[in-house]
């Protein structure tokens, strides 16, 4: 996919993403559901999940079809337009909203991360980590994909190390699973990891979710990174 000419915009603004959706330039869009997400939803009972920066909504659709109480948000109106044919009858599960703004439904049992952190300029990363701690209920999890690489340019903006990610999420979260990704799309191939981060019970913010506690399996791999 060759890159069209876009005006110089800040990826922190919805206009940056809307221009790309409008031009149908979305190299991050898998157009399908990753295997590790399918395994995750097959392995735990359905719960309340937020998909922030959900784009065209493939993952939102998968959660809905798997019986999860899912909310997808994106701050680009053009992302909602791209999602309309994908989500079909599940379109009510997606809303125009900014990740950093309060949601009446929070906190959630799970927040699913796919290509939001790497879409944000680094100056927003610390706020991303703090917002995650508000959004995930105690005992809940972040599950999803994290993009690692070199260099400063983006998007996608790459994490330079596991320690950099840990510095954003600890001590509110602890990493409980870390695995290679077998079915990455080209833009992320060889550079992303599937990880789960559990919200520490005792840390501040994020009271328990309104729904039943999420029955999550124990840690798979405590040696993240
Ligand atoms: C790289 S795309 C990934 C989309 C989707 N997660 C996927 O994997 O196909 C990043 C998405 O995050 C959205 N986004 C970026 N910053 C956001 C914010 N602060 N609040 C909500 N959505 C945001 C963009 O509009 C865009 O749809």
Domain map (residue ranges) of the chain: 30-52+101-199
pLDDT tens per residue, range 10-64: 999 999 999 999 999 999 999 999 999 999 999 999 999 999 999 999 999 999 9
Q: What atom of ligand 1 comes closest to residue 18's alpha carbon? A: 25
Q: What is the pLDDT of residue 212?
A: 42
**43 contact partners, CB below 8 Å, separation of at least 6:** 217
- The whole-angstrom separation of Cα 136 and Cα 94 is 18
- The whole-angstrom separation of Cα 69 and Cα 140 is 14
Q: What is the pLDDT of residue 52?
A: 99
Q: Of 6, 24, 28, which is closest to residue 15 (Cα–Cα)?
A: 6
Q: CB-hemisphere CA count at 13 Å for 40? A: 28
Distance 86 CA to ligand 1 centre (A): 16
- Residues forming beta bridges with residue 143, ordered by sequence position: 112, 196
Q: Is the CB of 131 under 6 A from ligand 1?
A: no
DSSP 31-99: SS--HHHHHHHHHS---EEEEET-TT-HHHHHHHHTT-EEEEEES-HHHHHHHHHHHGGGGGGEEE--T
| Ranges of the chain with pLDDT below 50 | 208-213, 219, 221
Distance 95 CA to ligand 1 centre (A): 12
Q: What is the pLDDT of residue 205?
A: 54
Q: Is the CB of 55 under 6 A from ligand 1?
A: yes
Q: What is the pLDDT of residue 225?
A: 73
What is the chain's length?
A: 225
**Angle formed at CA 35 by CA 34 and CA 39, multiple of 5 degrees:** 125
| Of 1, 9, 16, 17, best ligand 1 pocket probe by most atoms within 8 Å of the beta carbon | 17
86 and 72 Cβ atoms separated by less than 8 Å: no
CATH code of the region 30-52+101-199: 3.40.50.150
Distance 16 CA to ligand 1 centre (A): 10
Q: What is the pLDDT of residue 170?
A: 96
CA-nearest residue for atom 11, ligand 1, is: 53
Q: Is the CB of 54 under 6 A from ligand 1?
A: yes
């Amino acid at each position: 996919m060759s890159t069209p000419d876009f005006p110089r915009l800040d990826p922190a603004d919805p206009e940056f993403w809307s221009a790309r959706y409008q031009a149908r330039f979305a190299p991050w869009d898998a157009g399908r559901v990753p295997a590790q997400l399918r395994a995750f939803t097959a392995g735990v009972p359905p719960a309340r999940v937020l998909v922030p920066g959900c784009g065209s909504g493939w993952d939102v659709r998968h959660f809905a079809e798997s019986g999860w109480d899912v909310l997808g948000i994106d701050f680009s109106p053009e992302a909602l337009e791209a999602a309309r044919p994908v989500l079909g009858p599940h379109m009510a599960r997606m809303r125009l909203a900014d990740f950093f703004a309060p949601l009446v439904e929070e906190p959630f049992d799970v927040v699913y991360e796919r290509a939001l952190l790497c879409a944000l300029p680094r100056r927003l990363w610390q706020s991303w980590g703090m917002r995650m701690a508000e959004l995930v209920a105690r005992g809940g999890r972040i599950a999803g994909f994290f993009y690692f690489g070199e260099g400063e340019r983006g998007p996608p903006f790459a994490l330079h190390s596991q320690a950099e990610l840990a510095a954003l999420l600890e001590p509110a979260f602890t990493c409980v699973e870390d695995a290679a990704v077998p079915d990455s799309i080209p833009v992320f191939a060889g550079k992303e990891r599937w990880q789960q981060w559990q919200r520490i019970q005792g840390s501040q913010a994020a009271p328990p979710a309104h729904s039943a506690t999420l029955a999550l399996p124990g840690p798979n791999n405590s040696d993240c990174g």
